[in-house]
């Protein structure tokens, strides 16, 4: 999408002089996270094209206020933020928060494509430091890293604690079976799955993924955001989060009010109002 947006600035805006609105789902943290030298070169080129060509667009729509702030500082183009439509309705209306008792088993859920950037390997390594506690982890997803992740589970003797299950259309059933949702990704533009988990009464703990997670969790008021690359340190915070879960049980009203911002109806209205705006 970055390349397409940059090329659109050249061929649609500069050559044809159409009004041009770009939609960007990528947090800048993605362009500063590298998995190989080729990946480094590719992302540096993407950043160069964005910094030099996005300014010719009439507007860039970002999917979080956090990313919008970064774009204003570093890309320096005209921006507006509109969240991704993550839920149809709020399930929070008849909500009674589940009680987590420390002596009972804590069931942890994580959902996403089994790819390098989702960092399920990091989460598995973190669970290694917690295997003496009464915990379980379900990882729901499909992707190229399945074999590597399963090997890592076996290597650390975590087969009884961690299960990898295929993603299918019934994935929402797992929300009912678990207590805590963890996002372990290196970066996320706007993690819709976190909104869904929050809407289905799960507590949320996330790594600093650099995008909409700060808006979804209100900078840590209704969930925990950990900035670390150390699995042992992350494990410490998982344990600490569980021990202090009563803090997040008090924030029902904040959660419900924030979820309203991510409903499809609200988001569609914002897009319609934007496209009908006279200055465009």
Question: Is 235 within a domain?
Answer: yes
Q: What is the pLDDT of residue 17?
A: 72
Same domain, yes or no, for 113 and 204?
A: yes
Average pLDDT in the 101-106 region? 67
- pLDDT classification of 101: cutoffs 50, 70, 90: low
Same domain, yes or no, for 44 and 126?
A: no
DSSP characters for 41-65? HHHHHHHHHHHHHGGGSSEEEESSH
Q: What is the pLDDT of residue 27?
A: 92
Same domain, yes or no, for 116 and 212?
A: yes
Sign of CA dihedral 180, 182, 188, 193: negative
Q: What is the pLDDT of residue 100?
A: 57
pLDDT, tens only, 107-156: 999 999 999 999 999 999 999 999 888 899 999 999 999 999 999 999 99
The Cα–Cα gap between 46 and 29 comes to 13
Question: Is 280 within a domain?
Answer: no
Question: Is 200 within a domain?
Answer: yes
Same domain, yes or no, for 73 and 192?
A: no
Same domain, yes or no, for 51 and 134?
A: no
Q: What is the pLDDT of residue 97?
A: 52
Same domain, yes or no, for 76 and 120?
A: no
Q: Which domain holds residue 174?
A: 106-261
Instruction: Name which residue leads in pLDDT, 267 or 275.
Output: 267
**In whole angstroms, how far apart are CA 280 and each of 39, 54, 142, 170?**
36, 16, 41, 41
- The domain boundary residue, chosen from 81, 116, 134: 81
Q: What is the pLDDT of residue 256?
A: 87
Same domain, yes or no, for 167 and 65?
A: no
Q: What is the pLDDT of residue 250?
A: 65
Same domain, yes or no, for 118 and 164?
A: yes
DSSP label at residue 139: E
Q: What is the pLDDT of residue 98?
A: 55
To which H or E segment does residue 36 belong?
none
As for how many domains the chain has, the answer is 2
Same domain, yes or no, for 132 and 203?
A: yes
Same domain, yes or no, for 150 and 252?
A: yes
Report long-range pairs for 97-103 (Cβ below 8 Å, ≥24 apart): 97/201, 97/249, 97/252, 98/179, 98/201, 99/249, 100/179, 100/180, 100/203, 100/242, 100/245, 102/242, 102/243, 103/134
Q: What is the pLDDT of residue 20?
A: 86
pLDDT at 213 over 80: yes
pLDDT, tens only, 161-197: 999 999 998 888 999 889 899 999 999 999 999 999 9
Same domain, yes or no, for 225 and 166?
A: yes
> 92 with 110: CB under 8 angstroms?
no
Taking the CB of residue 190, how many other CB atoms lie within 10 A of it? Answer: 25
Question: Is 77 within a domain?
Answer: yes
Question: Is 96 within a domain?
Answer: no
Question: Is 93 within a domain?
Answer: no
Question: Is 175 within a domain?
Answer: yes
Instruction: Indicate the angle between helix axes 192-199 and 252-259, nearest 10 degrees.
Output: 130
First to last CA, the chain: 22
Kindly report the CATH number assigned to the domain that includes residue 256.
3.40.50.2000
> 187 with 159: CB under 8 angstroms?
no
- The domain boundary residue, chosen from 47, 81, 115: 81
Question: Is 194 within a domain?
Answer: yes
pLDDT, tens only, 48-76: 989 988 888 889 999 999 999 999 999 98
pLDDT at 94 over 70: no
Question: What pTM, to 2 d.p., does this model score?
Answer: 0.90
Same domain, yes or no, for 119 and 235?
A: yes
Mean of the per-residue pLDDT values of the chain = 88
Q: What is the pLDDT of residue 119?
A: 97
The length of the chain in residues reads 280
């Amino acid at each position: 999408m970055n390349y397409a947006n940059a090329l659109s600035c050249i061929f649609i805006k500069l050559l044809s002089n159409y009004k041009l609105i770009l939609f960007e789902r990528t947090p800048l943290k993605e362009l500063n996270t590298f998995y190989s030298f080729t990946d480094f070169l590719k992302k540096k080129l993407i950043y160069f094209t964005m910094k030099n060509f996005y300014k010719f667009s009439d507007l860039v729509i970002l999917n979080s206020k956090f990313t919008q702030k970064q774009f204003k500082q570093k890309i320096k183009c005209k921006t507006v933020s509109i969240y991704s439509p993550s839920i149809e309705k709020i399930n929070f209306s008849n909500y009674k928060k589940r009680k987590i008792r420390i002596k009972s088993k804590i069931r942890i859920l994580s959902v996403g494509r089994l790819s390098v950037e989702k960092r399920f390997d990091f989460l598995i390594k973190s669970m290694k430091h917690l295997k003496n506690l009464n915990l379980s982890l379900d990882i729901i997803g499909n992707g190229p890293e399945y074999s590597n992740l399963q090997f890592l589970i076996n290597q650390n003797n975590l087969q009884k604690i961690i299960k990898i299950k295929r993603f299918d259309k019934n994935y929402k059933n797992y929300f009912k079976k678990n207590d805590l949702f963890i996002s372990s990704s290196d970066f996320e533009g706007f993690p819709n799955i976190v909104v869904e988990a929050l809407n289905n009464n799960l507590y949320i703990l996330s790594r600093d993924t650099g995008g909409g997670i700060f808006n979804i969790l209100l900078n840590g008021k209704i969930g925990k955001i950990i900035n670390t690359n150390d699995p042992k340190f992350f494990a410490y915070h998982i344990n600490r989060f569980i021990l202090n879960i009563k803090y997040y049980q008090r924030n029902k009203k904040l959660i419900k009010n924030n979820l309203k911002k991510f409903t499809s109806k609200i988001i569609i209205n914002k897009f319609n109002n934007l496209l009908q705006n006279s200055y465009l």
